[in-house]
Chain A
Amino acid sequence: MIPTHPIFLRQLRNKGRVNMSERSGNETRARRDFLKLGGLGLAVGAAAAATLDPHKAAAQAPAQSLLRTVLNRGKLIVGTGSTNAPWHFEDDKGQLTGMDITMARILARGLFDDPTKVEFVKQDPASRIPNITAGKVDIVIQFMTVSPARAQLVAFSRPYYIEGVALLTSTKGKMKTHKELIDAGKNAKASVLQNVDADKLVAKALPNAQVLQLDTQANAIQALDSGRSDAAVIDLSTVGWLVKRNPDKYLDSGYHYDTQIYSAAMRQGDPDWLQWVNTCFNVNMHGHQTDLYDQAFGDFFASKPPRRVPGFPSI
């Protein structure tokens, strides 16, 4: 059916623009034109990169405080996750719960006298800072470790928890205690959640261990379950939560170290909003409204905050 005789092909070629060789000519030309436009593409890309730079975005903060916007809107929009117990996770009924969620409810109670007036925007940990700078959320409460580097990009609230780090080991693993892991040297593999300075974090407990950085804490633990790592370097709060729930599966290697400050994060350049959040946290952690905080502390960390002592302010 397809004519292949040379004369026929030549006729076709002479005929017009749709035969194959002509088309590939068009293609090449189109591609060449595209290359010419490459400079323009670069310029557009550079412009986009400039606008996406969080430093610049932070400098374009709104003149009016977010506090008024939130009050007028009638609900608080909180960026958080849904995949990390005991911080933010769905319970058996599919309701978001956890310490981060409680901190959001505390803010909603302070704003509207109603802890339920919160809209949670579920986000990946990697989206915490972008969602703030893009103005998609009023505040991020998602077990966010305060670091000076991050503080250049967002405004952190006062701390609401001091997290520690611990090494979770498996009852089936070769290395169960911190000493066994240290003795194994670089034969020990440690899985850890991708984070600022995650390598250094592991090195503090296991200076020679190989580091395996993973995208969620659950995957860091999965690596331990599947034998890809000998220890999961995870939050102390999670080790406590897991060992209590699965004593036949997991062990606490016994070494707790390093403190990390957890704070809520907001857009820079809005002192009224930041100050209000700090005040609300203070009242709920040290003042006359500590019921929600204390309840969550017991539920999620199985412990109690120290007794608040009247007199000299400890905050």
Chain B
Amino acid sequence: MIAYIANTLPFLWEGLLVTLAVSGLVVAISLATGVLSGVGLVYGPWWVRLPIRIYSDILRGTPLLVLIFLIIYGLPLLGIDFGNYGSAVIALAAFKTAHVAEIARGAIQSIHYGQTDAGKAIGLTFPQRLQYVILPQAVRRFLPPWINAVADAVKGSALVSLAGIVDLTLAVQQVIGRTYDPLPMYLLGAAMYFIINYSLSQTSRRLEARFAYIRE
């Protein structure tokens, strides 16, 4: 049993790296696009808010798997092909962007308008108000749900295995396909996902403690 697991570790290692790369890309892209969209949702004029609102509502109401297949199989028919890896990352990031946008919107809106008033009163411009007044306070409320979303992205990345990308999940399936002995492999795979996500939630707790010095 131990020997069996030890033999399979090199195969899973490659898959683990792919899972981490996909998750990392998705988290980085969706953080940038999501926070921008969130700021747009709060402060933008209607022609900025409306498309983001539509985008966010549609994406959050669509199953991720459908979105992945739509980008992988739908776009090539229109002459656009990002390849399977690119398509999967784009689909996951697009999906996650909608969630991060809502998290950012909620965090910003939870900062009382009095803070903006105070910023205006001392003559701060809009970017300055964001930079020095609103965002530093909003970060605290943004972090916990965002780390949840990151953990969700790591787990959601398992869906790329359906696009034939050898991530941790497909690496597990491949070993099972050879040995027809699934249970130890599923446990090992689950343990790896757990270790990643548990470290994330620990990081989240650290960060929350780090930002807890700010008093309301």
Contacts and interface: CB of A to CB of B under 8 A. Distances in A.
With most chain A CB atoms within 10 A of its CB, the pick from B7, B170, B180 is B180
A235 to B, nearest CB: 12
A33 to B, nearest CB: 6
B174 A124 contact: no
Contact of A121 (B58, B109, B116, B164): B164
A237 interface: no
B178 A90 contact: yes
A82 B166 contact: yes
A85 B180 contact: yes
Interface in B103-126: 109, 112-114, 116-117
Contacts of B152: none
A2 B114 CA distance: 8
B178 to A, nearest CB: 5
Contact of A222 (B54, B76, B178, B182): B182
B74 A33 contact: no
Interface string B176-194: 1110101100000000000
A135 B164 CA distance: 15
A90 B162 contact: no
A50 to B, nearest CB: 10
B69 interface: yes
A94 interface: yes
Interface string A10-28: 0010010011100100110
Nearest to B52: A30
A41 B55 CA distance: 11
A51 B77 contact: yes
A2 B115 CA distance: 10
B201 interface: no
Interface residues of B, number: 44
Interface residues of A, number: 54
Contacts of A84: 177
Nearest to B42: A18
A130 B158 CA distance: 20
Contacts of B77: 51-52, 57, 133-134
Interface of A: 1-3, 12, 15, 18-20, 23, 26-27, 30-31, 33-34, 37, 41, 48, 51-52, 57, 81-85, 88-92, 94, 121-124, 126-127, 130-131, 133-136, 216, 218-219, 221-222, 225-226, 242, 245-246
Interface of B: 7, 10-11, 42, 46, 49-50, 53-54, 57-58, 69-70, 72-74, 76-78, 81, 84, 109, 112-114, 116-117, 161-166, 170, 173-178, 180, 182-183, 216
9 contacts: A1-B112, A30-B53, A85-B180, A90-B177, A122-B164, A127-B162, A136-B81, A218-B180, A225-B182
Given A51-B74, A91-B178, A216-B177, 11 more contacts: A12-B113, A23-B109, A30-B49, A30-B50, A34-B57, A57-B77, A82-B177, A90-B174, A90-B175, A218-B176, A225-B183
